[in-house]
Amino acid sequence: MTAHIIKRASELSPENSIYNLTGFSGTALANATTDVDFKMVGERWLVGGTLLVGGGNWGDTATIQIVDKDNILGYGANVVLNQFVTNLQIRNDVTLQEKLEVSYVSLVPKDIYIRIKYTNTSANPVGVACNLFLHKPKDATS
């Protein structure tokens, strides 16, 4: 665990962190709710991100969560630790659905997942992607 205690994004600096923009993507199945998961390879401060959807439909929704799929923290498998986007209504006329940046930060531990829970209301698969605005602690080992 990092020795730096950071509470606000304004406290992140080149002395204590390295900017680490990271993206992940997947396919939401037709007429279903699909989880698209990304496993953190090391602890990172999360300050925001973008949600992109290719082929989204009116009526589709997206929820973004931080999940302990593998019981790393000891609270049980698949425990939702935080949910910072809930049932975002998807627009069918744009790819970039939302850009979220916050003034506070969340330290996400290694081996915890960022999850997009996408509900697709159409008979066709939908491409879903997320670009995470992360900062890697300079004293992190991975």
Domain residues for the domain of 116 are 19-137
Residue 10 lies inside a defined structural domain of this protein? no
In 3D, which of 75, 57, 60, 61 has the Cα closest to residue 112? 75
pLDDT for position 106:
78
Task: For residues 122 and 31, give the distance between their C-alpha atoms in angstroms, rounded to a whole number.
Answer: 5
Residue 23 lies inside a defined structural domain of this protein? yes
The beta strands (E) that lie in 1-142 are given as: 17-19, 22-28, 32-39, 44-54, 61-68, 79-89, 96-108, 113-120, 126-137
pLDDT for position 12:
63
pLDDT tens over the chain, length 142 residues = 444 555 556 666 667 677 888 999 999 999 999 999 999 998 888 888 999 999 999 999 999 999 999 999 999 999 999 898 999 999 989 887 888 877 677 788 899 999 999 999 999 999 999 999 988 877 766 6
Residue 3 lies inside a defined structural domain of this protein? no
User: The CATH number of the domain where 115 resides is what?
Assistant: 2.60.120.230
pLDDT for position 23:
95
Residue 32 lies inside a defined structural domain of this protein? yes
Query: Are the C-beta atoms of residues 114 and 48 closer than 8 Å to each other?
Result: no
pTM here is: 0.86
pLDDT for position 8:
58
Residue 78 lies inside a defined structural domain of this protein? yes
Give the chain's domain count. Answer: 1
Residue 7 lies inside a defined structural domain of this protein? no
Residue 2 lies inside a defined structural domain of this protein? no
Residue 12 lies inside a defined structural domain of this protein? no
CA distances 97 to 88, 92, 125, Å, are 9, 9, 17
